[in-house]
């Protein structure tokens, strides 16, 4: 056994004896001043050496505890904020739905001679947002193909496919497969008839052509559907004249119409019965 091993063993034996004597002297029934002084002389430096470390560890444990408490509070606050945001979004959705329904009621009141079917939007896929939507009314409610669809106060589309309790509506913002609809433009000299024949996505405007008159058309002139062809319900609001393309022949003009309908948010629709 080398000297280092002997020193280590002697040190641990000394520590054991010191702690044993300390226990005896502090138990209350024995008092050995000489031994107490020796033990105190040994333990005091040890306490001084370890005391900063113990204090540091205790302080760090407190800080870590505070950090976890702050983290938990932060998570609770995030959940509360998310809950409030959801409530706010729900309230905004309800507000928009109510506004849409009020516009529908206004249209129904404006045309007491017409029959309407009311329906809510069931599905509107982001991929085909400007092309079509699905409503929660079908053959069971009296929906048939080619019915005009009104939303947010103006003409929005036409029914193309009908199931028993749902129907597919092709929106007028679908520029690829546009259904032509006869319209009339109000002017000072009288009504000018034309065909709603397309949608210009660059200007977000309907396009009207095949006009039957060369009379002047002013900006903001009102545009509604026409029953000139005999198959389309008349006087459904379409929009206002936004601009007019100039040509040498006024009959070949193209009139760009700003839609009355806000196509960005459609919650409910009216289907016009012929």
> Would you state the pLDDT for residue 265?
87
The confidence score (pLDDT) of residue 52 equals 64
Q: pLDDT value at position 47?
A: 55
Taking the CA atoms of the chain, what radius of gyration do you get in angstroms?
42
Q: What is residue 59's predicted lDDT score, i.e. its pLDDT? A: 64
Higher pLDDT: 248 or 193? It is 193
Residues 33 and 42: their CA atoms lie apart, in Å, by 14
Any idea which of 88-102, 140-154, 155-169 has the lowest mean pLDDT? 88-102
Query: Is residue 208 pLDDT above 90, yes or no?
Result: yes
The answer as to whether 185 is a domain residue is yes
222 lies in a domain?
yes
Q: Which residues contact 83 (CB under 8 A, 6 or more apart)?
A: none
pLDDT confidence tier of residue 227, bands split at 50, 70 and 90: confident
Does pLDDT of 138 surpass 90? yes
Q: Classify each residue of 200-231 as buried b or exposed e, where b means 16 or more C-beta atoms within 10 Å of its C-beta.
A: eeeeebbbbbebebeeebeeebebbbbebeee
Query: Is pLDDT of 88 > 80?
Result: no
Contact criterion met (CB below 8 Å) for 98 and 104: no
If one counts every other C-beta atom within 10 angstroms of the C-beta of residue 187, the result is 16
**Can you give the residue range of the structural domain that contains 251?**
181-260
Looking at residue 136, its pLDDT comes to 93
Q: What is the pLDDT of residues 34-54, one digit of tens each?
A: 555 555 555 566 555 555 665
Q: Is 187 a domain residue?
A: yes
What is the pLDDT, as a whole number, of residue 3? Answer: 60
Asked if residue 203 is part of any domain, the answer here is yes
On whether residue 226 sits in a domain, the answer given is yes
Rounded alpha-carbon distances, angstroms, from residue 252 to 208, 211, 223, 248, 249 = 10, 7, 18, 8, 6
Q: Rounded CA gap, 140 and 163, in Å? A: 8
Contacts of 266 (CB under 8 A, 6+ apart): 100, 121, 124, 133, 151, 152, 156
Average pLDDT of the residues in 127-133: 92
Q: Contact at 8 Å (CB) between 155 and 206? A: no
- Give yes or no for residue 26 having a pLDDT over 70: no
Whole-number pLDDT of residue 64: 74
For residue 1, is it within any domain? no
Higher pLDDT, 50 or 77: 77
Percent of the chain exceeding pLDDT 90 equals: 41
Count: domains in the chain: 1
Inside any domain, residue 52: no
Flag whether pLDDT at 29 surpasses 60. no
- pLDDT, tens digit (0-9, with 9 covering 90-100), for 5-22: 665 666 666 666 665 655
Q: What is the mean pLDDT of residues 191-203?
A: 93
198 or 93, which is more confident: 198
CATH number at 253 reads 2.40.10.350
Q: Is residue 216 part of a domain?
A: yes
């Amino acid at each position: 056994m080398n000297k280092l091993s002997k020193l280590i063993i002697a040190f641990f034996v000394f520590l054991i004896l010191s702690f044993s004597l300390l226990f005896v002297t502090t138990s209350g029934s024995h008092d050995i001043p000489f031994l107490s002084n020796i033990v105190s002389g040994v333990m005091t430096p040890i306490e001084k050496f370890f005391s900063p470390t113990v204090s540091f560890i205790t302080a760090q444990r407190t800080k870590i505890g505070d950090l976890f408490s702050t983290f938990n509070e932060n998570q609770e606050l995030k959940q509360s904020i998310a809950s409030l945001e959801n409530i706010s979004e729900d309230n905004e959705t309800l507000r928009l739905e109510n506004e849409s329904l009020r516009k529908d009621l206004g249209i129904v009141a404006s045309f007491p001679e017409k029959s309407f079917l009311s329906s809510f939007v069931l599905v509107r896929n982001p991929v085909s947002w400007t092309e079509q939507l699905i409503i929660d009314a079908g053959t069971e409610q009296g929906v048939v193909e080619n019915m005009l669809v009104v939303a947010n106060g103006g003409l929005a589309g036409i029914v193309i496919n009908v199931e028993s309790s749902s129907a597919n509506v092709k929106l007028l913002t679908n520029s690829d497969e546009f259904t032509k609809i006869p319209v009339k433009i109000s002017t000072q000299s009288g009504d000018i008839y034309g065909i709603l024949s397309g949608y210009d996505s660059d200007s977000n405007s309907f396009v009207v052509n095949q006009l039957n008159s060369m009379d002047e058309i002013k900006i903001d002139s009102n545009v509604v559907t026409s029953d000139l062809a005999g198959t389309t319900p008349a006087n459904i609001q379409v929009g206002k004249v936004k601009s007019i393309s100039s040509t040498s022949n006024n009959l070949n003009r193209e009139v760009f119409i700003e839609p009355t309908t806000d196509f960005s948010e459609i919650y409910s629709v009216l289907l016009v019965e012929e």
